[in-house]
Each structure stands twice: as C-alpha cells, then as structure tokens.
Amino acid sequence: MINAVFLFKAPTPILGLANPFQSTDQGVATWFHERLTPAFAGVLHTVTEFGSGEWIGIVVAALVLFFMWKRWWAPLVTVIVAVPCGMLLNELVKLAVHRHRPFVDGPFVDWSGYSFASGHTMGATLLYGQLLLFVLPLLKTRHWRLICIFSAASLVLLVGFTRIALGAHFLTDVLAAIFFGIIWLMLCTVLGKSVRRRTVASAVSISHSAELEH
C-alpha cells in the first residue's frame, strides 16, 4: 500500500520513477470530459451519491443504532472500525500523496481537494463490502449469495465509474480506492476474528476457574 501511494504521486517522479499509467489516466479523463453532457452529468451526479460521505454517514448511523438496540457489540465495533476509520485512512492517503484532480472546473464539474485515492469509491467499497460480509453468513443458498455479491460489486463499480466520468478522479484513483478498501476490510475481518476468539477463550477460562472454586 505504501509503494502504491508513492508510485501514484505522479506526475512528479518519485525516487526516479514516474507514474507508468499517467498517459492512460489522462487519456481516459480527457475522453469523458470532452463528451460530458448536461443529461449525462445529471445521471452521474445522482449515482455518485451512493458513495458520498453524507449517504454513508446516514447508513452507518442507522446500523450503529440498530446494533446498539440489539446489543450486538461485535458488529457495532466492526462497522465503526471498517467504514469511518477506513474513510479517514483514505483522507490521510490523499494528504500524503497530494495528487491533483484531472479537472478542477468546467461546465459540469467543480472539485476541490486531492485526487488519490477516490473517497467516494473507497467509501462505497467499505460500506457495501462490509454489508456484504454481514449478510453472506446468513444466506443459505448459492443463488442469493451470488446476487448479493454481484449487487455490492456493481454499486462499487458504478460509483467508481461516475467519479471518472465526472472528471473528479483518474482511473488509477478509483482502482486504488477499491484495492485499499478490500485490503482494509480483510484486515478488519482477520483482526475481528482474532479478538473474538480471544474474548471467547478468556470467557471460557474465567468460567472454568469459577467452577473449580466452587
């Protein structure tokens, strides 16, 4: 992840290496920018909201309240660490990389902030990926599992596509956000399972000690 951060700090060469995808990035961004129409931009702005901080904040808040009501503490901690903390990490990456956006103004765009990696795409990857991880164990049939996986992946890819088409991000910004999001979710899942195993083992040990005392 660190190597990727420094690699895509282009166009400035890093340690003698320039971004090898710079030409592709700029070509894709320019192609969409030249073909953006008011109707297309309107559709893109609607779809891109599924990765916006406001939407993700609403969904996460609803999940937090639901888990608190059910007293499901493990999922509660998981969703907080996976989604908001992962999005915060992405903001730190943006500040570290300091990469400018493809276009900062135009008829249909007005962007501020930095480009790498895509915050909307990262947020969508974390939110829909974590929801998928919550839902998959509850599904008994392969059919429904495939539908859920396809739906989550489609939402992430659609959000990523809108960021490129609107000129908010380069192609590599979106791909990196998906990659970082998946890695973060995997890390959270592994650490979460480790903590739960230790908690269960500790509870069993305490219970066993109590039985011996009696």
Closest to 86 in 3D by CA, of 129, 55, 48: 129
Phi then psi dihedrals of residue 110, to 5 deg: -160, 85
pTM above 0.85, yes or no: no
From residue 179, alpha-carbon distances to 38, 54, 90, 100, 173 in Å are 31, 22, 12, 20, 10
CA distance to 17, 117, 197, 214, per residue, from 205 (Å): 54, 45, 12, 15
Stretches where the chain sits below pLDDT 50 are: 2-3, 5-17, 203-204
The residue whose two tokens read 């990926």 is: 129
What's the CA gap between 90 and 121, in Å, rounded?
10
pLDDT (0 to 100) of residue 213: 58
Q: What is the pLDDT of residue 175?
A: 94
Boundaries of every domain in the chain: 28-197
Are the beta carbons of 121 and 77 closer than 8 angstroms?
no
Q: Output the six-digit token pair for 54.
A: 């406001």
Q: Which two tokens stand for residue 130?
A: 């974590």
| Residue 80 buriedness (CB in 10 A; 0-12 / 13-18 / 19+) | middle
| pLDDT single digits (tens) 92-128 | 998 888 888 887 666 666 677 788 889 999 999 999 9
Residue 15 pLDDT: 36
- The reported pLDDT for the residue numbered 89 is 92
* pLDDT digit string, tens, across residues 54-67: 999 999 999 999 99
CB neighbour class for 40 (10 Å; exposed up to 12, middle 13-18, buried from 19) = middle
